[in-house]
Amino acid sequence: MKRVILFIAVVLVGTGVASAWSRVYDKAVLEVAYQSMDEKTQQLVVKYVGEDYTKPAGHLAWHRKNGRMLETAGWHTLHLDANLQPAAKDENDALVQTEKALQIIRNRKSYDNEEVAMAIRIVMNLVIDMHNLSNVKIEGIELSGTDFKVGTSKGTSGGRTAKITPYSWKSLWTSRYNTYHGAYSPQMYAEDIKIMFGNKREEFSRGSLNDWVHDIGLYTKQAYDVLEQNNRQFLHKTIQEHEEFHMSCLARASYRLAALLNETLK
Amino acid sequence: MKRLLFVALATFITVCPTHRAMAWGNTGHAVIAYYAEQLLDEDVKQKCHHYLHSTLAFQASWMDQYRSIEPFTECDKWHSTNIDANYKVVVGRHDTAAFQIERIRKEMADYNSMPDSLVKLNLRYLIHMIGDAHCPVHVRWSRKEHPEFHYSLLNKGKKYSYHGFWDSSLQRWRTKWTAERYVEEIGFLSKGKAKKITKGTAYDWTQETADVARTKCFPLIPAGTEVSTLPQDKRYKMHYIAEQQVQRAAYRLAAVLTEIFKE
């Protein structure tokens, strides 16, 4: 019976539209990104989005919640083909929308300030979102996307059977790790991101947006492989072992966002 | 026979550690570690970051998360310390937080000759156990010798764990507070007071916690208390006790880390 309980099958369920990381992570990424920008870029970011440069965190979701910008609901997902190359079929794709917003920022003299500000907010939101691997859909991988749940367990001591609780893949990568760090603020996460991955800033931000998307595909696929190897279960031990990996996704998003805005706001 | 079974059960409960208790919860542990980090000199802080590859706060609940994962299951028993029939802390018992804190303190005097991974592990243990040693419900009262300290509370009319109540006492009714906010509210001690409270060993600190539990916590929240409607004055006193314990833990953690890493 214990074995039966231990190997409960993964429950496949349909969920709604993908959304961002937990707000505290979004703000942490924006904090590290801001600190990693050139001084000139920092000034322009403040000029367009305001003194509180972490305020754009969850901006699109906030608008949708209030019945506006409903067309952005599908923008958070990053679509990749089997070779982990961009494979958007329409405009509902994080990469497509990021590139469109970057064009506005590059040609900002042709737009009014509010349009440029919105483009910056969109880039901030979508670069963060595409680094959350629950927002990545890879062609040919059955488990791709956010539409399934994983078994997790709290674990017990003394070799007793672990209880497995169904948990969504999306929630795992969006907010689960935050539950291990009560009272954590965005600034506290930012500090940890810098300590853990500050020395990888150059490595993470090297290359183009397409290179980064490929890298995101690689680590997303790596997580799926771990899931497959573990009977489609991400149990307590595996979750714990992936915490640093989760933080590395935040670090990649942070340093790449800074590099992207440094380049486009030049 | 029934009597024999009762004795056997009582003995088992007395010896058996509290497995799933998580002192202070993730919030309290993060606050203690964050607070301690604010007290460290820059060189000591940098050494901690170097070995931990993170802040102290990030590792604060590692010991709770890994207590069921091999090869760390041994530490499952290190979250609390036994108290004897005379209300005195039991010295020398390996499966207690106080013993392990003192063991690691001695071991870390030679941290330079240890592998970095062991220094990291020891730091994770110290960060967590020094927090645990200050949680009023992480002193183990024998059910046989101290039956008066084993009771439940009520939450909206339903049975509620006394242990769980104090584990979450710091953040109770303050769900949105960050660690920075807690530290700001609790404030800092003068140099003289800080020096005074950081003296002693983990056994002394645990004894103090046991005294706080016995003379303050149990009288404040007696058996059957309905916690959802706890009067304001009791809430205030509960927060004050929790904050004072968190402050002591933070200063002592900072002192232990300074003792280890200060050149």
Q: What is the pLDDT confidence band of residue A159, given thresholds at 50, 70 and 90?
A: very low
Determine the average pLDDT of the residues in A56-69: 87
Smallest CA–CA distance from A179 into chain B, residue: B26
- Judge: B179–A162 Cβ closer than 8 Å, yes or no: no
pLDDT number for residue A18? 40
HEC-encoded secondary structure of B84-149: CCCCCECCCCCCCHHHHHHHHHHHHHHHHHCCHHHHHHHHHHHHHHHHHCCCCCCEEECCCCCHHH
Q: Is some CB atom of chain B closer than 8 A to the CB atom of A229?
A: no
- Topology of the domain comprising A23-264: P1 Nuclease (1.10.575)
Residue to mutate among A27, A178, A181, with most B CBs inside 10 A, is A181
* Cβ contact B28–A182 (<8 Å): yes
Quote the pLDDT of residue B17.
36
Which residue among B54, B66, B69 places its CB closest to the CB of A196?
Answer: B54
Of B19, B26, B54, Cβ closest to residue A182: B26
CB contact under 8 A, B53 and A195: yes
- Domain coordinates in residue numbering, chain A: 23-264
Per residue of chain B (263 residues), what is the pLDDT tens digit? 455 444 444 433 333 333 355 678 899 999 999 999 999 999 999 999 999 999 999 999 999 988 888 899 889 999 999 999 999 999 999 999 999 999 999 999 999 999 999 999 999 999 999 999 999 999 999 999 999 999 999 999 999 999 999 999 999 988 889 999 999 999 999 999 999 999 999 999 999 999 999 999 999 999 999 999 999 999 999 999 999 999 999 999 999 999 999 98
Give me the residue from A184, A187, A195 closest to B49, CB to CB. A195
pLDDT tens-digit readout, A170-210: 888 888 899 999 899 999 999 999 999 999 999 999 999 99
Please tell me which of the candidates A180, A188, A192 has its beta carbon nearest to residue B179.
Answer: A188
Average pLDDT over residues A3-21: 37
pLDDT of residue A231: 74
Closest CB from A180, A183, A196 relative to B53: A196
Tell me whether A266 touches chain B (CB under 8 Å): no
How far apart are the CA of B202 and the nearest CA of chain A, in angstroms? 25
CATH of domain B9-261: 1.10.575.10
Chain B residue whose CA is closest to A181: B26
Strand A149-153, strand A164-168: pairing: antiparallel
Say if the Cβ atoms of B30 and A179 lie within 8 Å: no
Residue A67 has a CB neighbour count (10 Å cut-off) of 7
pLDDT for residue A151: 62
Which residues in chain B touch residue A161, judged by CB atoms under 8 angstroms apart?
Answer: none
Determine the Cα–Cα distance for residues B69 and B171; give it in Å rounded to an integer: 27
User: Cβ contact (<8 Å) for B69 and A154?
Assistant: no
The type of residue at B161 is S
Q: Which of chain A's residues have a Cβ under 8 Å away from the Cβ of B61? A: 180-182
Task: Please indicate whether, in this complex, the C-beta atoms of B54 and A195 are within 8 angstroms of each other.
Answer: yes
Q: Are B81 and B89 in contact (CB under 8 A)?
A: yes
Q: Under an 8 A CB cutoff, do A236 and B69 touch?
A: yes
pLDDT tops 60 at residue A9: no
DSSP character string of chain B: -HHHHHHHHHHHHHHS--SS--TTHHHHHHHHHHHHHHHS-HHHHHHHHHHHSS-TGGGTTHHHHTTTSTT-GGGGGTT-EEE-TTS-BPPS-TTSHHHHHHHHHHHGGGGGGS-HHHHHHHHHHHHHHHHHTT-TTSEEE-TTT-GGG--EEEETTEEEEHHHHHHTTTTTT-TT--HHHHHHHH----HHHHHHHT-S-HHHHHHHHHHHIIIIIHHHS-TT-BGGG--HHHHHHHHHHHHHHHHHHHHHHHHHHHHHH--
pTM of the model: 0.89
